Structure 1
Amino acid sequence: MGERKPATTIRARIRESSAQLTASERKIANAILADYPFTGLQSIHDLAAKTGVSAPSVTRFVAKIGCGGFQDLQRQLIAELKAGQSSPVDLKYSQTPVGHVEFLSEYVARACAVMQEMVETVPQSQFDVLAELIADPSRNIFLLGGRVTNSIAAFLSIHLRQIRSGIYHMAENPEAWPEHVLSMRKKDVVVLFDFRRYQLTLSQLAHTIAKKRGATIILITDKWISPAARSADHIVALPIDAGTAWDTAAAAMALVEALIVRVSDADWQATQKRIKEWDGVRFSMPGIDQSRINGEGDET
């Protein structure tokens, strides 16, 4: 049960084949990855002209990444686009049912398999870069997610605020975004969460930030890749498919919790000082029973 693996995307296969590509084929690969998957949906002649290579070079490239011709490449890219818009109703028809007798243990096994897949697909070097960016006290960190994933952004922001200053969880209402965007500096970091059934507003926000403010954008998404990737500096593609009607956030939460621990350890003295000062203010708020916090109250 823990060994199930989703089909590999065209993007992943291009990257896996990079060492075997010729100079001309790398031009094609770079063009497709730069505006994925839309460049790959152009005609073969338009793609050849855009990259300055011949149509036969495109054909050889397509074969190297395991496609049975240019039409097969486009068919698979279109399938990825459709998969990225799948709802729980759509996924219900292709799910692998979880046994009802041992439902909890079987589902947990699937979630563990998804988290293990994340370990295998997200490089340690990429995780290190993200942690370093978020831990840098000279950078303000702005966070936002989609309709569902904003709860993950909120979870991360709640913990980061106790570790360091300069953490801003952006309002869900786009009418409030200009205030945040206008305060962003080039050195700041924006962390966006967007999983399938992507939100166009997040893509538009990322484009605006990249164009007008130049802040570093970290996109945490799934293997089908949010359109916000066009404007992102760092893209983390997480597994979310547990074979059920509902995608799992297990990998996303594991990644976020790992970041929280890593960032807090980056300068533990500063983290410890921040938490003590934070609690000092929090516990002085009206309605807080300090005796109960200290374990002195009657718990019965």
Structure 2
Amino acid sequence: MSNLRDTIEEIGPALTSSERKVAGVVLSDYPFAGLQTIQELAKATGVSAPSITRFVSKVGCSGYQEFQRRLIAELKESHRSPVDLKLTENPTHPGRFLFDYAERIATQVKEMAAGVSQSQFDDVCELVGDPGRNIFLIGGRMSDSIAGMLTMHLRQIRERIYHIPSNPELWPDYILRMRKQDVMILLDFRRYQSSLTQLAEIVSEKRHAQIVVITDRWLTPASRHAAHVLAVPTEIGTAWDGQVSALTLAEAMIVKISEQDWDATRRRIEKWDAARLQQPGSIQDGIKDEQT
């Protein structure tokens, strides 16, 4: 069953003006806005309770209670641990574990490519590739490794790339550097880190920088503060979610951004390589010796 957010977005054009108001409020703070009482939601949207009832019917729910039950179920899904996932895993064939796992990864990457639109991908790459913007990157407990990899490649492509450290006590130094035209790339997957949501809120409301969130289909709460949300598949049928689709997306961004102005990228890489410290006995030293 698809999540309610996807359903609401799909049926958007078929909704009445009143129902679109409900959809707008629900999506603006998803899923929490839908967990209010129907009276509170009616007040927030300025539409009647019967209009909300018709809206939830169009998204496939028999009533407002079922609508909220599904939202709560999605919230629970977003906090499932490997111990929980182990209970519902789809075991691989014991004699061909690696092959089966690789097939699942391949399927996950194809789903990512189909789920992230080309226009959205291009918009984000153009934003990050703009040399006039500072780019800040951070990830969660596990996904920060992807943020770190993306940081290192972007630093070779252009200047003004900053990897925000995991220690929140150091965040103010980075936050205070941010300007309205700057971009923060934030990766967060289930079980989400509340500190990252707090960071996104501060960056959005106090510094007015644009935020790009890379997350899973349940959407980190940090998404509510983002200008761009790239949702990638992570379920792979094992006790552990897979992050290969997020890594593939990051690698695709690297290639795309590097090619937006290849002459500038080439000059940057050449200067980068010339400035690198060479260790005694390195391959480069051997090449130099042969040339002299």
Alpha-carbon separation, structure 1, partners of 2:148 and 2:265: 19
C-alpha contact 2:108 2:245 (8 A) present in aligned 1: yes
C-alpha contact 2:90 2:238 (8 A) present in aligned 1: yes
2:105 aligned partner: 111
CA deviation profile, 1:152-192 (whole Å, cap 9, x unmatched): 10010010000000100011111111110001111000000
CA drift at 1:14: 0.4
Q: Is the aligned partner of 1:65 residue 2:66?
A: no
Question: 1:233–1:115: structure 2 CA closer, same or farther, 3 Å change rule?
Answer: same
Question: 1:84–1:293: structure 2 CA closer, same or farther, 3 Å change rule?
Answer: farther
User: Cα RMSD over matched residues?
Assistant: 1.5
1:140 aligned partner: 134
Question: 1:239–1:288: structure 2 CA closer, same or farther, 3 Å change rule?
Answer: farther
Q: Is the aligned partner of 1:78 residue 2:94?
A: no
1:170 aligned partner: 164
Moved more, 225-234 or 20-29: 225-234
Partner SS state of residue 218, structure 1:
strand
Q: Is the aligned partner of 1:244 residue 2:238?
A: yes
Partner SS state of residue 186, structure 1:
coil
Alpha-carbon separation, structure 1, partners of 2:280 and 2:29: 52
2:204 aligned partner: 210
Q: Aligned match of 1:34 in 7, 28, 33?
A: 28
Alpha-carbon separation, structure 1, partners of 2:46 and 2:259: 48
Q: Is the aligned partner of 1:289 residue 2:259?
A: no
Alpha-carbon separation, structure 1, partners of 2:49 and 2:38: 6
Alpha-carbon separation, structure 2, partners of 1:250 and 1:119: 12
CA drift at 1:289: 3.5
Counterpart residue identity of residue 37, structure 1: P
Percentage of pairs with the same residue:
51
Task: Provide the TM-score with structure 1 as the length reference.
Answer: 0.93
Alpha-carbon separation, structure 1, partners of 2:48 and 2:235: 38
Partner SS state of residue 18, structure 2:
helix
Partner SS state of residue 138, structure 2:
strand
Alpha-carbon separation, structure 2, partners of 1:36 and 1:201: 18
Unaligned regions of 5+ residues in structure 1, if any?
1-6
Counterpart residue identity of residue 89, structure 1: V
CA drift at 1:46: 1.4
Counterpart residue identity of residue 8, structure 1: S
C-alpha contact 2:278 2:284 (8 A) present in aligned 1: no
CA deviation profile, 1:77-126 (whole Å, cap 9, x unmatched): 00111111111111000111111111111111111111111122111111
Q: Is the aligned partner of 1:195 residue 2:189?
A: yes
Partner SS state of residue 183, structure 1:
coil
Question: 1:114–1:286: structure 2 CA closer, same or farther, 3 Å change rule?
Answer: closer
1:3 aligned partner: none
Alpha-carbon separation, structure 2, partners of 1:261 and 1:205: 28
Partner SS state of residue 184, structure 1:
coil
Alpha-carbon separation, structure 2, partners of 1:267 and 1:122: 23
CA drift at 1:296: 7.5
Counterpart residue identity of residue 281, structure 2: D
C-alpha contact 2:134 2:161 (8 A) present in aligned 1: yes
Alpha-carbon separation, structure 2, partners of 1:260 and 1:291: 26
Counterpart residue identity of residue 159, structure 1: H
Unaligned regions of 5+ residues in structure 2, if any?
none
Counterpart residue identity of residue 115, structure 2: T
Match runs of 1:218-297 below 5 Å: 218-282=212-276, 285=277, 287-292=279-284
Alpha-carbon separation, structure 2, partners of 1:66 and 1:183: 46
CA drift at 1:291: 4.0
